[in-house]
A and B are shown apart, each in its own frame.
Chain A
């Protein structure tokens, strides 16, 4: 079954801890993205990667880090430097035979900082 898988769905973290969100895709897409979704603010781009071993900061990269060692995987680490990490995080991918502008999204991961 092709698609994007995010894990975990729900995650709780204590202040001061780093946490890593997983994003895996089997669509053979070159590009992958991380967005943060907050009520009333829509989706904001954190990081994106257009090819393996390369990634760029989005609009709100501070306090986050990523890696792209494999085409299928684009994990996001929320570090203790992120001032307001409680949010819903969405991963997406694009490429292959998909139409221009078509992103395929995962189901999301909800992070709550206690």
Chain B
């Protein structure tokens, strides 16, 4: 079955430490993958897309087809990175996305 897995419900790191939010998928072919973020009291919003190979707010995500992973990384966590992060592959026509269960990132001082 096609699915997306975020194994960690909660990830707690200290400020300045590296961050890696894991995402594994089991979709066939070459899916397009996205990371969405929801900060406290804000709307869910797009963080970055794998096809653009961009760095947003210091975060990057590399699609590893061999491991079927799309982990989100940042070398030095900041307090403002505390939020809920969702991995989302595109699973249908248009912009139909399937969201993972999310990982709550908490950056402690």
Count of chain B residues with Cβ under 8 Å from any Cβ of A? Answer: 25
Chain B residues near A87 (CB, 8 Å)? none
- Is A64 close to B, CB under 8 A? no
Chain A interface SS verdict (over half): strand
One digit per residue, 1 when the CB lies within 8 angstroms of any chain A CB and 0 when it does not, for chain B 1-16 equals 0000010010000000
Q: Is A41 an interface residue (CB 8 A)?
A: yes
Question: CA of A71 to CA of B42 in the docked complex: distance in angstroms?
Answer: 25
Q: Beta-carbon contacts of B70-108 to A below 8 Å, as 1s and 0s? A: 000000000000000010101001111111111000000
| Interface residue from B52, B95, B99 paired with A94 (Cβ < 8 Å) | B95
Identify which of B90, B94, B99 gathers the most chain A CB atoms within 10 Å of its CB: B94
Give the Cβ gap from A50 to chain B, nearest Cβ, in Å.
5
Q: How far is the CA of A50 from the CA of B93 in the complex (A)?
A: 9
**Cβ contact within 8 Å between A31 and B101:** no
Q: Which residues of A contact B97 (CB under 8 A)?
A: 45, 101, 103
Chain B interface residues toward A at CB < 8 A? 6, 9, 32, 34, 36, 43-46, 49, 51-52, 86, 88, 90, 93-102
Please list the 3 inter-chain residue pairs (A to B) with the smallest Cβ-Cβ separation, ordered nearest first: A42-B101, A43-B99, A94-B95
